[in-house]
Amino acid sequence: MLDVLRKIVQEVNSAETVRLALDLMARRVRDAMGTEVCSIYLLDDSGQRYVLMASEGLKPEAIGNVSLGLSEGLVGQVGLREEPVNLENAHTHPKFHYLAETGEDPFHAFLGVPVIHHGKVLGVLVIQQRDSRRFDQSEEAFLVTISAQLSAVVAHARATGQLQAMDTGDTHTAFYDGMSACQGAVIGEAVLLYPPADLSSVPDRAAEDVEEEISRLDSALVQVRSEVRELAERASRSLGREEQALFEVYLRMLDRHALPGEVVTRIREGHWAQGALRMVVDEHVRNFELMDDAYLRERAADVRDIGRRVLAYLQTGSRRQQDFPENAVLIGDEITTPMLMEVPRDKVTGIATRVGSRNSHMAIVARAMGIPTVVGAQGLPLKQMDGAEVIIDGYRGRVISNPGAELREQFEQIIEEERTLQAGLEKLRDEPARTTDGLAMEVMVNTGLMTDIARSLDRGAEGVGLYRTEIPFMVRDRFPSEEEQRVIYREQLQAFAPRPVTMRTLDVGGDKSLPYFPIEEENPFLGWRGIRLTLDHPEIFMVQVRAMLKASEGLNNLRIMLPMVTSVIEVEEAQHLIHRAWLEVREEGMDIPMPPVGVMIEVPAAVYQARALAQRVDFLSVGTNDLTQYLLAVDRNNRQVADLYSSWHPAVLQAIIHVVEQAHEEGKPVSVCGEMAGDPGSALILMAMGVNTLSMSASNLLKVKAAIRQVSAMFARQLLNEVLAMDNSEVISAYVDLQLEKAGLEELLGRRRNIQ
Ligand code: PEP
Ligand code: MG
């Protein structure tokens, strides 16, 4: 049965339209279960009637024309009870409602199961048979399983407007949910970034002349290398010199001894160059794709990208460049950083991808460039969308195609308001983040790429509260050397000096990993992450700390921060290593003071150890992104449970209060460097809790500063007290919004507005 089920699901999922998917489902289920009828009833738009949408066995003319009210007939009964109804003879049931149009008179046995998605009934799946008999338990279980699968198809079709447009065939407004990788809203023309050539369609062929094939490969490689060098140059102009590293990785992959070497071997075995290339690329891609880790799967995208570029030259000897409109929204299955670099910067308005994660390199780059981006919008019908008008709602993580006039106007207004707001905020650049009654907050930025530096300084950051060192590690194909790291760190420290720069030691594991250091685990978020990994590899840790120390020579603005700490012993071990590294660099003749060392509070254990941790270090910094995930047991990257992920949860608020109290008892300052610090409402609440520093993405800095400057500390404290009496995150969030609106901060909240 499992096999049958898998086949049905596969077929239904690959059906081109909802109509086909529903018809297929009805047919396959009827055949698999050996019954005479299988029908699918779905709730209509009003949510008040179940409409017969597909059937095998009932009269075809009834499809789309027959419907039942919410409590009408056995179908209504299944929906009301939200559980299967299994009857030997439907006709004798008091709720039976005879529908002459369907021709169901001869069928006695009835089994109906609800189609439920995220707790909501979407429809009812029914099988019927002539014989009077009760369907057995295994049949019931099978239908329940099928219905769970059907619910995903229906929910998706409903969300994307396909269900509504099923019969009209109109171009309709459709919504596709993904994850926001960069906030902001834009309206533009979708441009499908199609690959330069299609590797999968290359046939197997024998090489007629092996040497000739090798020389064709070589000349294609020469052209691709020069193309990549040009992209590297562009990237360094828009992102900073450091970003060349990714392209160096590409170039190394294109080295005659690397990937091409393997292709040559295949050619010598008798394959033509194109076929040999496909085989080698497929093999590498397969290896990467087997990895659980989202980032490593992205490396598969890089290899595929290289393969397609080489193939394009093998096939035509040249590359056709795509044209882009002025307001291009780039759409694609996966979009790599080099693909993004290929498009002139002034033409890219937004980005949307079907796969990919928020921590991919492209997403990090998009954020740094301020391009509203949605990733992981699985249902995007790329080919149909090409050329259509689309809205990228990066606040909500949503792509909207063919918006109606009203929706378009609403977004135009949001975009305009945001533009005016930003223009108005610029004057705050050199003003302090001080409340009307004189409480001063330190506002800092989170950085990773070189390009973050300029944006942060532009907005008057008082320092760096979190420099994510894993980012320069991600773009390479090996660990950067001590000297390479020193140069990168020096640039950060120098740019902000004399302001402090808080460098976090390598935080990989979980959803962030390095292509050259794969970690395979059942539960990566509960596994080898952050400090756990670097303490197991003191050589990596020592090189990094030495590089940080050396980079700070003469500047003395370095602070070191340890991620994912769960116990005191980890801190002691890390401090011991930092001390050793410090002695070493001093022995090498450098006069560098010992930098302040801090700990990130990201897991519940660290919350309860806050006092003991504060005794040993110079500062604590709350990473609310991870703390929320671990306190609430909600994966921060899982769309399925995204509604449950909220830093407004009372448990998160209580945890932060506890950390602040404990640290202050020890006379140590506390900062917050998770997303929470960058939201005007929660920033005020954190301020009221006594948090000393807020560190956030540069794009939120001026908004947060504006919020702080418009209220008094007393207002914030009162708001906090009110919030602490509430026990529900949604109520808290709505209440804070309301109070901020009343206090005249409405424009700063614009981005939270929910538009359906
Ligand atoms: C956090 O967890 O809140 C944090 C700032 O670290 P990251 O988002 O890099 O895990
Ligand atoms: Mg974290």
Q: Is the pLDDT of residue 364 over 90?
A: no
Is residue 61 in a domain?
yes
Whether residue 293 sits in one domain with residue 339 = no
219 and 141 assigned to the same domain? no
Q: Is 165 inside a domain boundary?
A: no
pLDDT in tens, 126-180: 999 999 999 999 999 999 999 998 898 888 887 776 776 665 555 678 888 889 9
- Encode 505-516: b = buried (16+ Cβ within 10 Å), e = exposed: bbbbbbbbbbbe
Confidence band (pLDDT; 50, 70, 90) for 69? very high
In a domain, 420, yes or no: no
Which tokens in the block code for residue 127? 């099988």
Nearest atom, ligand 1, residue 675 CA: 3
How high is the pLDDT of residue 288? 77
Strand 693-696, strand 442-447: pairing? parallel
Min mean pLDDT across 105-109, 244-248, 671-675, 742-746 is at 244-248
pLDDT at 756: 43
Q: Which residue owns the Cα nearest ligand 1 atom 9?
A: 468
Is 426 part of any domain?
no
Mark whether 566 and 715 lie in a shared domain. Answer: yes
Residues 384, 390: Cα–Cα separation, whole Å: 12
Q: Do residues 503 and 379 share a domain? A: no
Q: Which residues pair with 185 in a beta bridge?
A: 393
Residue pair 56/104 in contact by the 8 Å Cβ criterion:
no
Same domain, 212 and 187: no
Quick: pLDDT tens for 658-711: 999 999 999 999 999 999 999 999 999 999 999 999 999 998 999 999 999 999
Count of other CB atoms within 10 angstroms of residue 245? 20
Residue 331, H or E segment: strand 328-332
Token readout for 39 is: 């029908």
pLDDT at 476 exceeding the cut of 90: no
Dist. CA 225–CA 518, nearest whole Å? 27
Instruction: Choose one of 607, 626, 670, 691 to mutate for the ligand 1 pocket test, by most ligand atoms within 8 angstroms of C-beta.
Output: 626
What pLDDT is attached to residue 164? 66
Residues 187 and 207 in one domain: no
**In the listed set 415, 450, 474, which residue is the last one of a domain according to the structure?**
415
Judged against a pLDDT cut of 50, whether residue 23 lies above it is answered with: yes
Rounded to an integer, what distance in angstroms lies between the CA atom of residue 736 and that of residue 687? 14
Question: Residue 102's domain is classified under what CATH number?
Answer: 3.30.450.40
Over residues 103-109, mean pLDDT:
92
Ligand nearest to the CA of 565: 2
Q: How far is the CA of 630 from the centre of ligand 1 (A)?
A: 12
Same domain membership, residue 109 and residue 15: yes
Q: Does residue 673 carry a catalytic annotation?
A: yes
Range(s) of the domain holding residue 375: 174-193+322-415
How many angstroms separate the alpha carbon of residue 623 from the centre of ligand 1?
5
Beta strand pairing status for 49-56 and 670-672? unpaired
Rounded to 5 degrees, φ, ψ at 583 are: -60, -40
> What is the pTM (predicted TM-score) of this model?
0.79
Q: Same structural domain for residues 188 and 333? A: yes
Given 361, 380, 415, the domain boundary residue is: 415
Q: Specify whether 361 is catalytic.
A: yes
Lining residues, ligand 1, CB within 6 Å: 466, 468, 507, 602, 623-626, 673-674
Q: Is residue 421 part of a domain?
A: no
CA angle at 553 for the pair 550 and 559, rounded to the nearest 5°: 75
List strands edge to edge, sheet with 120-129.
67-69, 49-56, 37-43, 120-129, 109-117, 85-87
- Mutation probe of ligand 1 site: the residue of 446, 466, 631, 632 with most atoms within 8 A of C-beta: 466
| Last-in-domain residue among 286, 316, 346 | 316
Q: What span, in angstroms and rounded, lies between the C-alpha atoms of 440 and 687?
A: 9
> What six digits make up the tokens of 293?
């880790």
pLDDT of 319: 67
Per-residue confidence (pLDDT) for residue 652, from 0 to 100: 98
Q: Give the integer Cα–Cα distance in Å for 737 and 511.
A: 32
Residue at 424 is within a domain: no
Alpha-carbon distances of 265 from 211, 255, 578, rounded to whole Å:
12, 14, 47
Domain presence at residue 164: no
Contacts 24+ apart (CB under 8 A), 482-491: 482/543, 482/546, 482/547, 482/550, 483/547, 485/543, 485/544, 485/547, 485/548, 485/551, 486/547, 486/550, 486/551, 487/551, 488/242, 489/547, 489/548, 489/551, 489/552, 490/551, 491/242, 491/450, 491/453
- State the pLDDT confidence band at 86, using cuts at 50, 70 and 90: very high
Percent of the chain topping pLDDT 90: 64
Domain count, the chain: 4
Task: For 437, list phi and psi in degrees, rounded to 5.
Answer: -105, 20
The residue that leads in pLDDT, 633 or 322, is 633
Q: Is the pLDDT of residue 579 over 80?
A: yes
Please choose from 359, 468, 525, 561 the residue to mutate so as to test ligand 1's pocket, defined by most ligand atoms within 8 A of CB: 468
367 is a domain residue:
yes
What is the H or E stretch that residue 693 is in?
A: strand 693-696
* Catalytic choice (156, 284, 361, 649): 361
Nearest atom, ligand 1, residue 563 CA: 6
What is the spatial distance between Cα 710 and Cα 728, in angstroms, rounded to a whole number? 27
The per-residue pLDDT for range 486-533, each reduced to its tens digit, is: 999 999 999 999 999 999 999 998 878 787 888 888 898 999 999 999
- Could you tell me which of 431, 513, 434 has the C-alpha nearest to residue 471? 513
Please, are residues 268 and 280 in contact by the beta-carbon 8 Å criterion?
no
Same domain, 381 and 454: no
Residue nearest to atom 6 of ligand 1 (CA): 623
What does the alpha-carbon distance between residue 471 and residue 449 come to, in Å, rounded to a whole number? 7
Q: Which residue is closest in CA terms to ligand 1's atom 1?
A: 623
265 and 360 belong to one structural domain: no
Taking CA atoms only, the protein residue closest to ligand 1 atom 3 is 623
The predicted structure's pLDDT at residue 555: 97
Specify whether 506 is located in the same domain as 649. Answer: yes
Tell how far the Cα of 672 is from the centroid of ligand 2, in angstroms: 11
Tell me: do 79 and 228 sit in the same domain: no
CA 259 to the chain's CA centroid: 30
Please count the other Cβ atoms lying within 10 Å of the Cβ belonging to residue 101. 13
416 Cβ contact partners less than 8 Å away, ≥ 6 residues apart:
none
